[in-house]
């Protein structure tokens, strides 16, 4: 296999957002993807919990809108030939990890495909709240995170990706997702510690 060098991208050391027009989207932090015994565990996903908690703390402290996507499948789902059975509706694996349990004020969006916007009310609900910028975190970086970030950008939202709050199956997948978000979708790349509000 040939070695592939990832193109450079800038990681911002300080990013200021307006909490009134910014939403945090936590993508698919569910037991099947994060916890030992899950159907499709992403090796680094559990390590991102502290970074995601920092983002959640920031959002909750400043009244920012918080959305979770929850990958949701029923028996016979067309994704199963690709990945096997995972996140079956109502199962332990489908539940959001206990460390990141949504608050009553947070919104959980159940999605049937990789993209958190596809076939859901996410775009409508963001617009109702006057959101213009989305901070995207969670797993898997090059699949559900990237498709959700890309769809956000295509719908006119400014996208921010926090590196320490996303995880991928391989380093290549991680770098590819960051590159796509930075270059193709003109997203801002940063870390959870660099985020602050105006």
Tell me what the pLDDT averaged over the chain comes to. 96
The band of 7, judged by pLDDT with boundaries at 50, 70 and 90, is confident
Residue 85 CB burial class (10 angstroms; 0-12, 13-18, ≥19): middle
pLDDT in tens, 57-91: 999 999 999 999 999 999 999 999 999 999 999 99
Q: Could you tell me what percent of the chain has a pLDDT over 90?
A: 95
Domain extents in the chain: 19-197
CATH code of the domain made up of 19-197:
3.40.50.850
Given a contact cutoff of 8 angstroms between Cβ atoms, the answer to whether 65 and 163 are in contact is: no
Rounded distance between C-alpha atoms, residue 124 and residue 113, angstroms: 18
pLDDT tens, residue by residue, 82-116: 999 999 999 999 999 999 999 999 999 999 999 99
Look at residue 5 in the predicted model and tell me its pLDDT. Answer: 81
Provide the 3-class DSSP secondary structure of residue 41. coil
Q: Is the pLDDT of residue 1 over 80?
A: no
SS3 83: helix
């Amino acid at each position: 296999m040939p070695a592939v060098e990832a193109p450079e991208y800038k990681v911002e050391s300080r990013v200021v957002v307006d909490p009134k027009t910014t939403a945090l989207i936590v993508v698919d932090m569910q037991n099947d993807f994060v916890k030992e015994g899950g159907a499709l565990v992403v090796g680094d996903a559990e390590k991102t919990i502290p970074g995601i908690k920092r983002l959640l703390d920031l959002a909750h402290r400043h009244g920012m809108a918080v959305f979770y996507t929850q990958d949701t499948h029923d028996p016979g789902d067309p994704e199963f030939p690709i990945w096997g059975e995972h996140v079956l509706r109502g199962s332990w694996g489908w539940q959001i990890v206990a460390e990141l349990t949504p608050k009553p004020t947070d919104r959980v969006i159940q999605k049937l495909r990789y993209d958190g916007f596809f076939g859901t009310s996410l775009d409508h609900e963001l617009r109702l709240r006057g959101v213009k910028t989305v901070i995207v975190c969670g797993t898997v970086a090059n699949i559900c995170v990237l498709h959700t970030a890309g769809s956000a950008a295509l719908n006119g939202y400014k996208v921010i990706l926090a590196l320490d709050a996303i995880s991928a199956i391989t380093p290549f997948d991680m770098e590819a997702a960051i590159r796509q978000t930075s270059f193709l979708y003109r997203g801002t790349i940063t870390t959870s510690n660099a985020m602050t509000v105006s």
